[in-house]
Amino acid sequence: MNVAVVRFPGSNCDDDAFHVVGRVMGQPVRFAWHKESSLGDAEAVVLPGGFSYGDYLRAGAMAANSPIMGAVKAFAEKGGPVLAICNGYQIACEAGLLDGALTRNASLHFECRDVHLLVEGKPTPFTRGIPAGRVLRIPIAHAEGRFVHPDVAALEKEGRVVFRYVDPTGGVSDGANPNGSVANIAGTCNARGNVVGLMPHPERASEALLGSDDGKMLFASLLAEMGRRV
């Protein structure tokens, strides 16, 4: 599985995603530079975390208009799997790959800590392999992760809410919501299900040494999915 990790100026989780895809999952991986307009032979794309272009405007707004995003949109329209993490999620929303927006955390602070997530919604390449009801422990690290959407009910009905913040036992509660996201939404997908975005960082929870390898399930699921396609 050839994976492209997009590198914007100011991306800072690009090396981390590269490490997990390459060394932890053992897959061929390369960086796609923001000034490029092709993804080459990539079979999956990661939009990594960071502060693209400094995020001095709305987070992700500049990156959404960079040359490489044209290629990412074309790739997604053909059904190619795209995983958008943290700043990548903000970029995907700004680029129209995903619906909704990510605004300032309710606490007004940057929040870096572990959260718990429940997987739900329609099957996606990144979640199909995760057992139903399994609570994942994955870190967040963001100041602008409060998900907002004008019609959450429709999103839920279409099965496009993929991750929700829950307590360690799987309960949806205000206490489990780290940023004030509507309906505790931590991640969503597009109508087709091939583009998945989430604020938590699965690449930071893909090795037991770092405290959790629950995030590895997203990458393993993708790998299984690609195998199924072949």
Partner 1 sequence: MSAPKPGTKPVTKQEPPINEATAKEHGLSADEFRRVHDILGRAPTYTELGIFSVMWSEHCSYKSSRIHLRGLPTSGPRVIQGPGENAGVVDIGDGQAVIFKMESHNHPSFIEPYQGAATGVGGILRDVFTMGARPIACLDSLRFGRPDHPKTRHLVEGVVAGIAGYGNAFGVPTVAGEVYFDGSYDGNILVNAMAVGLARTDKIFYGKAKGLGNPVLYFGSKTGRDGIHGATMASAEFDEESESKRPTVQVGDPFTEKLLLEACLELMNSDVLVGIQDMGAAGLTSSSVEMAARAGNGIELDLDQVPRRETGMTGYECMLSESQERMLAVVKAGRESEALAIFAKWDLDAAVIGRVTDTGKIVVKEGGKVQAEIPVAPLAEGLRYERPFARPAALDKERALDVASLQAPADLGVALVKLMASPNLASKEWIYRQYDHMVRVGTVVRPGADAAVIRVLDGAVDPANAKGLALKADCNSRFCALDPYEGARLAVAECYRNVSTVGAEPLAVTDCLNFGNPERPDVMWQLVEAIRGLGDACRALETPVVSGNVSLYNETEGRAVKPTPTIGMVGLIANAADAVGLAFQPDCAVALLGVNTDEIGGSEYLDVIHGKQAGAPPKLDLAREAAVGKACRALVAKKLVRSAHDCSEGGLAVALAECCIVPSKPGAPLVGATVKLDEAIRADLLVFGEAPSRIVVSFPPEREAEVRAIAAEHGAPLSVIGATGGRRLTIYQKSARVLDVAIDELATAWRGGFRAVVS
- List the 3-7 sheet strands across, edge first: 29-33, 3-7, 44-47, 82-85, 195-198, 185-189, 161-166, 111-119, 135-142
Per the annotation, the verdict on 112 as an active-site residue is no
Q: Is 137 in the site for partner 1 (CB under 8 A)?
A: yes
- The residue from 34, 116, 149, 201 that is catalytic is 201
Nearest distance from residue 69's CB to partner 1, in Å? 17
- Please give the Cα distance from 147 to 136 (Å, whole number): 19
Q: Is 207 in the site for partner 1 (CB under 8 A)?
A: yes
Nearest distance from residue 112's CB to partner 1, in Å? 5
Which residues 31-70 are close enough to bind partner 1 by CB under 8 A?
Answer: 49-51, 53-56
92 neighbors 49 (Cβ within 8 angstroms): no
Write the interaction track for partner 1 spanning residues 106-135; mark x where CB under 8 A is met and - where it is not: ---xxxxxx---------------------
Nearest distance from residue 149's CB to partner 1, in Å? 26
- Please give the Cα distance from 29 to 31 (Å, whole number): 7
- Please give the Cα distance from 32 to 38 (Å, whole number): 8
Among 203, 218, 221, 222, binds partner 1 (CB under 8 A): 203
Nearest distance from residue 15's CB to partner 1, in Å? 7
Per the annotation, the verdict on 201 as an active-site residue is yes
| Residue 171: both structure tokens together | 């309960």
User: How many CB atoms lie under 10 A from the CB of residue 111?
Assistant: 17
Contacts of 74 by beta carbon, 8 Å cutoff, 6+ apart: none
Q: Which stretch binds partner 1 (CB under 8 A): 12-20, 91-99, 124-132, 187-195?
A: 12-20
Strands 101-103 vs 29-33: parallel, antiparallel or unpaired = unpaired
Site size toward partner 1, by CB under 8 A: 38
- The residue from 13, 86, 93, 189 that is catalytic is 86
Q: What phi and psi values does residue 162 have, to the nearest 5 degrees?
A: -100, -35
- Residues annotated catalytic, as ranges: 86, 201, 203
Q: Would you tell me which residues interact with partner 1 (CB under 8 A)? A: 9-10, 12-13, 15-16, 19-20, 23-24, 49-51, 53-56, 109-114, 137, 139, 141, 143, 168, 201, 203-204, 206-212
